[in-house]
Chains A and B, each alone.
Chain A
């Protein structure tokens, strides 16, 4: 957990994580009192992801949170009352009761794009934000989060591919919280690390412990800096754990008990408190002061929300179209003349370096038809170099390795959850060889056997 953060910044991280948690604890109580109108989606155990990633951004940068990224909203400066009032469908909420939960945004001041329930769609949207920011010369970075589940959508692929093709200053946080509603990651994808997907898009990626806020911050900072320097996009997989069900209605009985225990011992706030103490960044008094401040602030904010009115019914009929109510004005940070020729040069044609990389195919053919490796079939020239394999020119670079290797998919690791079997099954809790996943099966259960 080494880092260049100041004491103030360290305490900031604690403040936001604890504020996130206390805010949500209060909302759970409000939910039980029937004061929350719809569902309540907990980010318990994931606070370090929301806070650590968003803290790496500058004020001018843009985010598009998912429903659980309440910590990111707080870091962006959203007052807790907005989150209370949204969940309680109050007229004073940012959407005036037209949408709930953390589904709201702020284009003008905080640069937040509202979440959408169909996950993945904001990846293309934030790619567009990043492209427009670059076009206008704003030097911004756009960042959004996607879950392990959302990474299976088509929009994820389309968006990330476009971002990569455009080299957009865009950071994607893949928040792997192990569960997509009731489906474990191992049932979602056949690979161990979601970060591996970055290779296919030709972009940089990181894997980080999502419960270590400093590690999350450091990775995010590096990715954000890379993007701002024009070397985007970037992908960070954060490994964490959703410590509650999908929402309040879901007791999450499908999660193996031991899995909860494992992650409970790695609670991000407790880990961070320990770190602050061990490194003498704070003492008990400082912690008590921050905790008291959070309680004080939340008292005021919650009271405001509870006393706020519901929206007037006629509001339902307003706001379908923008009739000039929201002025649209691009903020140019570069000369406008620069974007159009002759301000910029343009070659209206394609430049294709290796005509479709046919050299690769030629190399494979040669390798197949070549005599045994030991025979000096190819003389590469030079001063008696001991090269037995052919050297193939590809994209102007010599290649030592055969250009094609058979790609063996990695066997996914445990836990594997067999089809149609509940959490009481022993095999869910115990590690096993995935190639022999019926070994521990109840002999009476014929499902999955052929």
Chain B
């Protein structure tokens, strides 16, 4: 099979799932005739028709609310946020109604909210956000943030088949920058399982999404200096794969966490707490974070570069940590 981009992986997942099950429908802004702002749904309307590819007014609350209502009747809607930043417009619908329905009154909401997220493309403060932690802090949701075409396809297919509301973050920097061969057939990746991208004994670097690639680049550089880093790609942020995290830290005794989300309240803090609770005596050095700044995402390339973590920052932090 020829290598495909991440956006193609997402598109294939949509096609295959809608083909497999007529209960799967797509809903969102400009997803039909236009094929979506990033063309993730290109060709969908020609194959599946207007009843299954529902083009809506600019109404995030209505999109998510309607998708939830459809889920109550047994459909499996996939709602697109044109940019994931706009999910803030339907925060109440997602966190207070969709997320709580099963716990409170036994009503599962089998829906997916997917959309392009993340920075590095100079999209400015309203088109570059990483709002995943608002939702990781919301019981009842599942939060996925893949880093490869294969994972994007396999996880989106799993998300559509899941009985729970799943938020699916797609890093737009990765949409067309990486290519990968995707396994043939009904390729599913389990939700809630992290993956070890690179094995090493000297320290563990935990990351996800675009920063998973940064972490890998840093690990290659560190290897030239004789530091062997183990790199973990979380893939799912909620529920978090504690086991993979703890197993690795117990092996390497040092932990560096890298994420593109802002620092305060980012998932690095949660992972640090998990490691302190579960592997405190295995630690040989301070748990270290490399994250974005605690600011909005700035627009100018010079400012955004300062804002984002990069390979140099990760290598420098890893060097410091490996001195312990």
Partners in one complex: yes
Stretch at the interface among A24-32, A95-103, A229-237, A249-257: A95-103
Tell me, rounded to whole Å, the shortest Cβ–Cβ distance linking A206 to chain B: 23
Which of B61, B63, B102, B140 is in CB contact (< 8 Å) with A154? B61
Tell me, rounded to whole Å, the shortest Cβ–Cβ distance linking B23 to chain A: 5
A124 touching B66, Cβ below 8 Å: yes
Q: Which of B245-284 contact A (CB under 8 A)?
A: none
Inter-chain CA distance A136–B75, complex, in Å, is 9
CB-CB < 8 A to A322: which residues of B?
102, 108, 163-164
Inter-chain CA distance A159–B56, complex, in Å, is 11
CB-CB < 8 A to A166: which residues of B?
54
Question: Is A6 an interface residue when CB atoms closer than 8 A count as contact?
Answer: no
Q: Which of B216-250 contact A (CB under 8 A)?
A: none
A107 touching B92, Cβ below 8 Å: no
A114 touching B105, Cβ below 8 Å: yes
B103 touching A340, Cβ below 8 Å: no
B59 touching A162, Cβ below 8 Å: yes
Which of A118, A124, A319 is in CB contact (< 8 Å) with B102? A319
Stretch at the interface among A182-190, A267-275, A343-351, A405-413: A343-351
Which of A161, A329, A340 is in CB contact (< 8 Å) with B49? A340
Q: Which of A160-178 contact B (CB under 8 A)?
A: 161-162, 165-166
Q: Of all chain A residues, which has the CB nearest B108?
A: A322
Inter-chain CA distance A353–B56, complex, in Å, is 19
A162 touching B57, Cβ below 8 Å: yes
Stretch at the interface among A126-134, A211-219, A301-309: A126-134
Inter-chain CA distance A158–B93, complex, in Å, is 12
Extra inter-chain contacts (5) besides given A127-B62, A346-B50, CB under 8 Å: A132-B70, A154-B61, A321-B142, A328-B76, A348-B33
B140 touching A320, Cβ below 8 Å: yes
Interface string of B65-92 (1 = CB under 8 A from A): 1111111111111000000000000001
Question: Is B190 an interface residue when CB atoms closer than 8 A count as contact?
Answer: no
- Between-chain CB contacts (< 8 Å), 13 pairs: A103-B105, A118-B97, A125-B97, A127-B65, A129-B72, A131-B70, A132-B73, A135-B25, A155-B62, A162-B59, A339-B49, A341-B49, A349-B33
Question: Is A393 an interface residue when CB atoms closer than 8 A count as contact?
Answer: no
CB-CB < 8 A to B215: which residues of A?
none
Question: Is A330 an interface residue when CB atoms closer than 8 A count as contact?
Answer: yes
A330 touching B73, Cβ below 8 Å: yes
CB-CB < 8 A to B63: which residues of A?
124, 162
State the 6 A-B residue pairs at the shortest beta-carbon distance, nearest first: A128-B69, A124-B65, A330-B74, A128-B66, A322-B108, A158-B62
CB-CB < 8 A to A136: which residues of B?
73-75
Question: Quick one: given A136-B73, A321-B140, are A159 and B65 in contact (CB under 8 Å)?
Answer: yes
Stretch at the interface among B40-48, B177-185, B199-207, B307-315: B40-48
Interface size of A by CB at 8 A reads: 60
B102 touching A324, Cβ below 8 Å: no
Q: Which of A333-392 contact B (CB under 8 A)?
A: 336, 339-341, 344-346, 348-350
CB-CB < 8 A to B288: which residues of A?
none
Question: Is A279 an interface residue when CB atoms closer than 8 A count as contact?
Answer: no
Which of B68, B74, B76, B104 is in CB contact (< 8 Å) with A331? B74
Question: Is A105 an interface residue when CB atoms closer than 8 A count as contact?
Answer: yes
Question: Quick one: given A135-B25, A155-B93, are A98 and B70 in contact (CB under 8 Å)?
Answer: no
B96 touching A324, Cβ below 8 Å: no
Question: Quick one: given A94-B105, A114-B107, are A121 and B163 in contact (CB under 8 Å)?
Answer: no
B106 touching A326, Cβ below 8 Å: yes
CB-CB < 8 A to B57: which residues of A?
158, 161-162, 165
CB-CB < 8 A to B46: which residues of A?
341, 346, 348
Question: Is B139 an interface residue when CB atoms closer than 8 A count as contact?
Answer: yes
Which of B67, B75, B103 is in CB contact (< 8 Å) with A319? B103
B62 touching A124, Cβ below 8 Å: yes
A114 touching B75, Cβ below 8 Å: no
Question: Is A194 an interface residue when CB atoms closer than 8 A count as contact?
Answer: no
Q: Of all chain A residues, which has the CB nearest B18?
A: A340
Q: Of all chain B residues, which has the CB nearest A343?
A: B49
Tell me, rounded to whole Å, the shortest Cβ–Cβ distance linking B140 to chain A: 6
Tell me, rounded to whole Å, the shortest Cβ–Cβ distance linking A87 to chain B: 15
A98 touching B69, Cβ below 8 Å: no
CB-CB < 8 A to B9: which residues of A?
none
CB-CB < 8 A to B164: which residues of A?
321-322
Tell me, rounded to whole Å, the shortest Cβ–Cβ distance linking B279 to chain A: 24
Question: Quick one: given A132-B75, A165-B57, are A95 and B105 in contact (CB under 8 Å)?
Answer: yes
Inter-chain CA distance A231–B87, complex, in Å, is 32
Q: Of all chain A residues, which has the CB nearest B50?
A: A346
CB-CB < 8 A to B110: which residues of A?
328
CB-CB < 8 A to B107: which residues of A?
105, 107, 113-114, 326
Tell me, rounded to whole Å, the shortest Cβ–Cβ distance linking A203 to chain B: 14
Question: Is B3 an interface residue when CB atoms closer than 8 A count as contact?
Answer: no
Tell me, rounded to whole Å, the shortest Cβ–Cβ distance linking A146 to chain B: 13
